[in-house]
Amino acid sequence: MNMTVNIAGVEFKNPVTTASGTFGSGMEYSEFVDLNKLGAVTTKGVASVPWPGNPVPRVTEVYGGMLNAIGLQNPGIDVFIERDIPFLKKFDTKIIVNVCGKTVEEYLDVVEKLANTSVDMLEINVSCPNVKEGAIAFGQDAACLEDITSRIKRIARQPVIMKLSPNVTRIADMARAAEAGGADAISLINTITGMKIDIERRKFVLANKTGGMSGPAIKPIAVRMVYEASHAVKIPVIGMGGISNAEDAIEFMMAGASMIAVGAANFVNPHATSEIVDGIEQYLIKHNIKDVSEIVGCVD
Q: Is 107 in the site for other proteins (CB under 8 A)?
A: no
Q: Which is nearer to other proteins, 13 or 271 (CB)?
A: 271
Which of 244/258 has CB closer to other proteins?
244
Sign for the pseudo-dihedral over CA of 200, 206, 209, 212: negative
Q: Return the exposure string of 151-189: e unless at least 16 CB atoms fall within 10 Å of the residue's CB, then b.
A: bbbeebebbbbbbbbbbbeebbbbbbbbbebbbbbbbbb
Taking the complex as a whole, how short is the minimal distance between the CB of residue 184 and other proteins, in angstroms? 27
Under 8 Å between Cβ of 244 and 252: no
Which residue type, as a one-letter code, is found at position 216?
Answer: P
Check residue 269 for interaction with other proteins (CB under 8 A).
yes
What's the rounded Cα separation, in Å, for the pair 264 and 241? 9
List 100, 128, 144, 298, catalytic entry: 128
- Is there binding between residue 79 and other proteins (CB under 8 A)? yes
Rounded to whole angstroms, the Cα distance separating 192 from 216 reads 12
210-249 residues near other proteins, rule: CB under 8 A:
215-216, 244
Based on the shown chain and the rule CB under 8 A, indicate whether residue 73 belongs to the binding site for other proteins. yes
Residue 2, SS3 per DSSP? strand
CB of 181 to other proteins, least distance (A): 30
Candidates 56, 155, 197, 285; binder of other proteins (CB under 8 A) is: 56
Site for other proteins in 87-106 (CB under 8 A): none
173 CB-near residues (< 8 Å, 6+ apart): 142, 232
41 or 232, CB closer to other proteins?
A: 41
- Beta carbon of residue 64, minimum distance to other proteins (angstroms, whole number): 5
Q: What residues does 211 pair with on adjacent strands?
A: 194
Secondary structure element (H or E) that encloses residue 125, with its range:
strand 121-125
Strand pairing class (160-163; 185-188): parallel
Q: Is 100 a catalytic residue?
A: no
197 binds other proteins (CB under 8 A): no
| Stretch 10-49: interaction string toward other proteins, x if CB under 8 A | -----------xxxx---xx-xx-----------x-----
Instruction: List, by residue number, the catalytic residues.
Output: 128
Residues of this chain that interact with other proteins (CB under 8 A) are 21-24, 28-29, 31-32, 44, 50-53, 56-61, 63-66, 68, 70, 73, 75-76, 79, 215-216, 244, 264, 266-271
